[in-house]
Amino acid sequence: MSFLFSSSLHLLPPSNPATSFSHHLPPRIAAVSSSPAVGGVFSVAATSLSHYPHGHSRCGPLYCSSSASMSLEESTPASQLEDSLLYARAFWVSRYVIAWNVEVGSGSCYLFGSKMATLRVNDGVVEGYDVKIKLEKDRGPLPENVIKKFPHIQNYCPFTVPLGSAVEPLLKCQLAVATFNSYGQCNNITCLQLPGVLDDLFSYEGPLGAVYSKEAVSLYLWAPTAQAVQAQIYKEPVGGRPFEVIQLEELDGVWRTKGPKSWEGCYYEYEVTVYHPSTLKVEKCFSTDPYSRGVSSDGRRTLFVDLGSDDLKPEGWDKLADEKPPLHSFSDISIYELHVRDFSISDQSVHPDMRGGYMGFTLQDSDGITHLKKLSNAGISHVHLLPTFQFGGVDDDKSKWKSLDIELLEKLPPDSAEQQSLIADIQNSDGYNWGYNPILWGVPKGSYASDPNGPCRLIEFRKMVQALNQIGLRVVLDVVYNHLHGCGPFDPSSVLDKIVPGYYLRRNIDGFIENSTCVNNTASEHFMVERMIVDDILHWVVDYKVDGFRFDLMGHLMTSTMLKAKNALQILTQEKNGVDGSSIYLYGEGWDFGEVAKNGRGVNASQFNLFGTGIGSFNDRVRDAMLGGSPFGHPLQQGFVTGLLLEPNDHDHGTDKDAEFTLAVSKDHIQVAMAANLKDYVLANFEGKEVKGSEVRTYDGSSVAYASCPTETVNYVSAHDNETLFDVVSLKTPRNITVNDRCRMNHLATSIIALSQGIPFFHCGDELLRSKSMDRDSYNSGDWFNRLDFTYMTNNWGVGLPPKEKNEYNWPLIKPRLADPSFKPSKSHILAAVENFTNLLQIRYSSPLFRLKTANAIQKRVRFHNTGTSLIPGVIVMSIEDGQEGIPGLTQLDPIYSYIVVVVNARPSEISFPCPALRARTLQLHPIQLMSTDPMVKNSAYEPSTGCFMVPSRTTSVFVELRKHE
């Protein structure tokens, strides 16, 4: 792939294919322009620059280049020098230090600045500059603080900017550094990346955005590279002309102005005149405020809105902190992941005007709310909402949405390709998207509100949080700080990259935007990016009283960012801030990949780096061990729950000995997870050796365990990404087993998550046998493939072949399964799944022994049996011991049960497991399972004289020992 420049044709190196993540849209390519204009005189001593008209160049997201920077000895051939300004391979890392991996030898190095962005190279001569400063080569390495901040350039050569140089005004220019040989000929030239020097000179902790007082409204915008900034004030959310245009004044990189209180309720937009590295021109960029707290439809203009106004508060809002569901410990958390639109868009018990939005959560007797109440009463503590900030991909104006005839879709065969074809035709024009396309982090999404203009979305979002709290559920927001939907000076979705171009988005060593998260990676290692993330988190907690955050691709943020956020929350109190910040739980995806892998850009918030922080990360090890392989492996690879060895499908798993080995290893992975994935937890592995959790290895040799305490582990078997749990089970199991068997496997998987130490996490629909017709990536598959039915009539299985784009290669596997009516569960299956799920939750919350708070407590109390070389394949036996009051040793935690045994039987037949260590106990089946309508679990039994457990096939049985009271 290449980039087309408008003044002449220049081909850049082909892009590096970005690592694909299923909920992100693919990157796009757009044209970028260079500037042929010639500039005028520039004063180095100037403190501000006048602005200039922008050109008509267009810019979209830039791919990161796969080429490496030049070696120390290499110089650029004269024929390529003119193209070198397309790159930014030098780094201005602090006021007086520039890093570049070139060697000048007996030559020289100069810094060039052009106010009008007219730098060019003509026959080896640099032209079009206003400033030329000689740089001195430093013989030593880069300073330690620079290496720590920019480890990926640690071996670059430092060049010194002369003391006394007026650096601040230079940063408003097009900048380049060039080397010259001893004859004065230019042999290397490149533009500069500026985040380091901007952090050094302009790190700022004062007010940003719109600040309200009794008499006035003040605006603050951090834009140290801008040449001029205007605020255009409008009465209308769209159209019309500004009734006032204000020139902001700059002080230390912050542009500011003060206006009348009458601005409240109006809208504004910034016009920023700034050099933009993507077009190599000085541009006029039109943008909303990065710190917007309200916007018009589709975020085109920022709304002047004071969130502290009583008019924006639902009745009782200020007392909500006192009425929140109790949370005594993070160990008591269990999380239910939900998409706002999915929840009510198909719920016929909800008024059509309220379906699919915030207000769908405010009813008391809808089918969906009735179901949530059932889960809340059983023990679910937190509802995790997929992105609710202002995102791209869904128009806020509902009148522009396209839809399909549902009756037509319902008439089509279950394995037809027609449904997905019809949906693909409108998928970018309907009302559906998961929302992982951030435009503005700090504003609720307008498409979920009754009216996307004005303060409606703000009020309704608060009503949603309040309503969920009132039925016993705390609210977690899914936040996406790792990337932005747009970039460049003209993309309507671009905001931050218009305000301070080249700062907020992480770039590679050639100067092109990194796209390992799919598009436009952000750089939390930069001071003002980190500050904005922390500010945003505090805003959602204080202004919307949310209770937690799930960080998308958290590993692409720095650990320092996560800790600053956590520490900032810790100091919030109900007395001062109206919220208890210590009750806010943070967790996310700690994947380690891309340019940040192995601390490539600093210590990133990956699983192993979060040890000891108290911040949770998703445990993919237990998911893969249970289901088999990974979401990126062969779709028929079986695991512990899906029949590996015991009920083989047609996939080649090697010899029986190979499959038995894989099953035993998977069992160890699951047992480590059930002990909260603690690094130092000691257990006996399948070989009978005592090992720590960190010594149990994954397929690539890395440690399974990474946590220091139970709340650093979020155990899950399914989430919005990839196929649903029921669909995975239906795909991986042999086609000749029954739907009853598949339902029991679904139950078995959720039981392991529900009864493990650590934080259990469930995808909405795990308890409903939810299907997406085997769609592995439903982020843009519309309401049809994402339907939920809280009447329990259907699980959405067999609604057509899933969308071609992400699933076609699996259609040969999917089609016969969808066509087979025996795969489809009945209402009775769904009702049984709901009961099984709520029973598991009730069992978890029936004893604090399932929710131990410390690593030490887990090590002392949790034991695994059925280990070593004589183990029964496909069976896990876990015991949890409590102490006795007045007896030395373990303290007493549970007033009801003194001992618990969990037996997980993944085998297709009943097992009899004698355990001498558990002989002579007074164990009995848990009362909740005794009262279950599941006849199989009721057949579970324990024989005290032999310590033998009898557990039916594909069943998890919980045995308890009632405490003896005098």
Q: Tell how far CA 362 is from the center of its chain.
A: 26
305 close to 293: Cβ distance less than 8 angstroms: yes
Burial label, 313 (beta-carbon count in 10 A; 0-12, 13-18, 19+): middle
Q: Which residues of 524-533 are buried (b: 16+ CB within 10 A; e: fewer)?
A: bbbbbbbbbb
Q: Which two tokens stand for residue 740?
A: 């009853």
- Cα Rg, the chain, nearest whole Å: 30
What CATH topology corresponds to 78-201? Immunoglobulin-like (2.60.40)
Predicted local distance difference test score (pLDDT) of residue 76: 66
What single-letter amino acid sits at 139? R
Question: What single DSSP character describes residue 603?
Answer: S
Cα–Cα distance, 475 to 466 (Å, whole number)? 9
Q: How many CB atoms lie within 10 A of CB 367?
A: 19
In the chain, where the domains are located: 78-201, 203-312, 618-769+825-962
Cα 223 to the chain's mean position, in Å?
27
3-state secondary structure of 180: strand
Q: Are the CB atoms for 340 and 358 separated by under 8 Å?
A: yes
Which structure tokens are listed for 379?
A: 């023990």
Angle 789-790-796 (CA atoms, 0-180°, nearest 5)?
20
The topology (CATH level 3) of 618-769+825-962 is TIM Barrel (3.20.20)
Report how far apart, in Å, the C-alpha atoms of 520 and of each of 433, 457, 552, 952 are.
Answer: 19, 27, 14, 52
pLDDT at position 700 = 86
pLDDT at residue 699 in the model: 84
DSSP 5: B
Query: Looking at domain 203-312, what is its CATH homologous superfamily?
Result: Immunoglobulins (2.60.40.10)
Torsion from C-alpha of 129, 132, 136, 137, nearest 10 degrees? 10
Residue 466 CA to chain centroid, in angstroms?
A: 24
* Residue 918 DSSP code: G
HSE-CB at 495 with a 13 A cutoff on CA atoms is 28
Give every residue of the chain whose pLDDT is below 50, as ranges.
Answer: 1-73, 966
Q: What pLDDT shows up at residue 123? A: 86
**Which tokens hold the place of 867?**
């280990």
How many C-beta neighbours within 10 Å does residue 205 have? Answer: 9
* pLDDT tens digits for range 438-462: 999 999 999 999 999 999 999 999 9
Residues facing 256 on adjacent strands: 220, 249
What pLDDT score was predicted for residue 345? 98
Q: Provide the annotated active-site residues.
A: 552, 589
Total number of residues shown for the chain: 966
DSSP 724: -
Query: Are the CB atoms for 78 and 124 separated by under 8 Å?
Result: yes
Burial of 938 (0-12, 13-18, 19+ CB in 10 A): middle
- Identical fold for domains 203-312 and 618-769+825-962, yes or no, is no
- CA pair distance 845, 436, nearest whole angstrom: 33
Tokens of 866: 């059925």
pLDDT at 920: 85
**Per-residue confidence (pLDDT) for residue 61, from 0 to 100:** 32
Question: Who's near 188: CB < 8 A, 6+ residues apart?
Answer: 70, 75, 76, 81, 84, 102, 178, 179
State residue 277's pLDDT score: 97
The helix (H) or strand (E) run that includes residue 254 is strand 254-260
Beta strand 186-193 with 174-180 is antiparallel
Task: Say how many C-beta atoms besides its own lie within 10 A of residue 927's C-beta.
Answer: 15
* Rounded-to-integer distance, Cα 321 and Cα 573, Å: 10
pLDDT at 14: 31
**Nearest-angstrom CA–CA distance, 302 and 296:** 6
Chain center to CA of 689? 37
d(CA 208, CA 291): 7
Q: What are the DSSP calls for 524-579, one per residue?
A: TTSHHHHHHHHHHHHHHHHHH---EEEETTGGGSBHHHHHHHHHHHHT--HHHHSS
Using alpha carbons, select from 707, 708, 678 the residue that is nearest to residue 693: 678
